[in-house]
């Protein structure tokens, strides 16, 4: 009897150990089956991760491109404003400003038939006045005016009469120069400033200078029969100025098509009168004292005057990082109005 009980106990112990061993084996196998990823799972993970990274990278690139584009446009507009302020300060010192008709030597009349510009009184000074460098062929004259400059120290002779100040007339001219084929400049065009002073910086005479007060007809008829020297002291004022014509097909398409025109207020004259140049230009009001007589033989108007000038500049950021073409770099024009402080032919009371 005891033997039977002992065998039962051994059998139960064997079954318990066997069950425990089987459970441990199952647990081990289950653990091995659940560890790691299948090849399909790895491929799906790689594809999803690549898509997320590509999306994030494209977003970063787009943000950087947008930032570069807006930075280029902002810098260009700021440069145009600085150039506009500089030219405005220059114009405020002007004594006599040529309008577009005078620069070209043409006659412009208003709707009433009366002379609107200096016109026939002027021989067209830019027909012969050129910059000293080789940029004349791709440059367009925009503005020209006379201003008073202080005399250099070199001509203050000890025996000269005592005076409060000494000044001489200097001709200042602004040109719009295309940058085509010039690797130095990255924009489409640049503004150049040239001048024709009476004296050099050390007090010497400029060869060929003609004093406008020595010419019959004064500033309007300058230089008279005298030959002209080339303009001197050239300097680039600003780059990245737009130079496209208003009839440019790409420009018209980017602005929605249709005809684009620019005009000045009544009694103002477009300067220059070249209709293709409307990215750097001015509207100049000619006072009655300067206009030619209505009828031949009439006495010319007289009296002191100031001149008003409305100045426009349009930049184009094409050529800067982030700008892919001229249409994307197209900027709105900025403008200012100037009343020159120099008064011509005024008799103090």
Residue matched to tokens 């990823």: 37
Residue 145: inside a domain:
yes
Residue 158: inside a domain:
yes
> pTM of this prediction?
0.76
Residue 33: inside a domain:
no
Output the six-digit token pair for 287: 């006072």
Mean pLDDT on 293-314: 73
CA separation for the pair 274, 313 (Å, rounded): 15
Q: Residue 55 pLDDT > 80, yes or no? A: yes
Q: What percent of the chain has pLDDT over 70?
A: 68
Higher-pLDDT residue of 23 and 223 is 223
Residue 24: inside a domain:
no
Which of 56-70, 107-121, 225-239 shows the lowest per-residue confidence on average (mean pLDDT)? 107-121
CA separation for the pair 156, 151 (Å, rounded): 8
Are 253 and 246 contacting, i.e. CB atoms less than 8 angstroms apart? no
Mean pLDDT on 295-310: 69
pLDDT given at position 79: 95
Mean pLDDT on 139-149: 89
Mean pLDDT on 30-52: 76
Residue 42: partners with Cβ closer than 8 Å, 6 or more residues away? none
CB atoms within 10 A of CB 145: 23
Q: What is the pLDDT of residues 257-296, one digit of tens each?
A: 667 777 888 878 888 877 778 889 999 887 666 665 556 6
pLDDT given at position 348: 47
Q: How confident is the model at residue 219 (pLDDT cuts 50, 70, 90)?
A: confident
Residue 222: inside a domain:
yes
Q: Residue 61 pLDDT > 90, yes or no? A: no
pLDDT given at position 314: 92
Query: Of 245, 240, 141, nearest to 188 (Cα)?
Result: 240
| Highest-confidence segment of 202-206, 241-245, 303-307 | 241-245
Mean pLDDT on 243-262: 74
Q: What is the pLDDT of residues 8-26, one digit of tens each?
A: 665 565 556 656 665 666 5
pLDDT given at position 8: 61
Residue 260: partners with Cβ closer than 8 Å, 6 or more residues away? 246, 247, 251, 252
pLDDT given at position 307: 83
Q: Residue 311 pLDDT > 70, yes or no? A: yes
Mean pLDDT on 83-109: 83
pLDDT given at position 345: 57
pLDDT given at position 301: 59
Residue 60: partners with Cβ closer than 8 Å, 6 or more residues away? none
Domain assignment of residue 169, given as a range: 56-339
Residue 6: inside a domain:
no
Output the six-digit token pair for 185: 């400049």
**Domain count for the chain:** 1
pLDDT given at position 113: 46
Residue 130: inside a domain:
yes
pLDDT given at position 349: 43
CA separation for the pair 336, 349 (Å, rounded): 32
Residue 162 has what DSSP assignment? P
Residue 9: inside a domain:
no
Which of 79-83, 149-153, 258-262 shows the lowest per-residue confidence on average (mean pLDDT)? 258-262
């Amino acid at each position: 009897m005891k033997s039977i009980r002992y065998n039962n106990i051994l059998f139960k112990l064997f079954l318990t150990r066997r069950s425990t061993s089987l459970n441990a084996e199952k647990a081990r196998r289950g653990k091995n089956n659940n560890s790691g990823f299948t090849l399909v799972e790895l491929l799906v993970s790689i594809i999803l991760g690549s898509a997320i990274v590509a999306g994030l990278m494209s977003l970063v690139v787009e943000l950087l491109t947008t930032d570069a584009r807006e930075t280029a446009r902002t810098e260009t507009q700021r440069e145009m404003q600085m150039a506009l302020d500089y030219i405005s300060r220059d114009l405020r010192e002007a004594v006599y400003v040529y309008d577009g008709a005078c620069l070209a030597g043409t006659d412009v009349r208003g709707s009433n038939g009366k002379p609107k510009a200096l016109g026939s009184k002027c021989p067209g000074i830019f027909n012969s006045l050129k910059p000293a460098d080789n940029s004349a062929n791709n440059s367009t004259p925009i503005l020209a005016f006379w201003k008073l400059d202080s005399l250099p120290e070199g001509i203050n002779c000890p025996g000269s009469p005592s005076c409060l100040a000494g000044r001489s007339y200097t001709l200042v001219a602004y040109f719009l120069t295309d940058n085509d084929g010039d690797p130095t400049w990255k924009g489409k065009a640049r503004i150049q400033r040239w001048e024709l002073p009476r004296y050099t910086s050390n007090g010497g005479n400029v060869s060929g200078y003609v004093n406008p007060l020595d010419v019959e007809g004064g500033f309007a008829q300058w230089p008279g029969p005298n030959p002209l020297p080339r303009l001197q002291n050239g300097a680039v004022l600003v780059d990245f100025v737009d130079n496209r014509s208003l009839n440019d097909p790409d420009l018209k398409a980017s602005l929605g098509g249709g005809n684009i025109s620019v005009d000045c207020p009544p009694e103002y004259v477009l300067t220059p009168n070249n209709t293709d140049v409307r990215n750097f230009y001015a509207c100049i009001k000619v006072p009655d004292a300067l206009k030619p007589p209505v009828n031949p033989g009439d006495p010319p108007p007289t009296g002191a005057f100031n001149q008003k000038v409305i100045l426009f500049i349009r930049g184009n950021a094409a050529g800067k990082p982030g700008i892919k073409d001229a249409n994307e770099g197209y900027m709105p024009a900025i403008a200012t109005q100037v009343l020159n402080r120099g008064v011509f032919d005024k008799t103090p009371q």
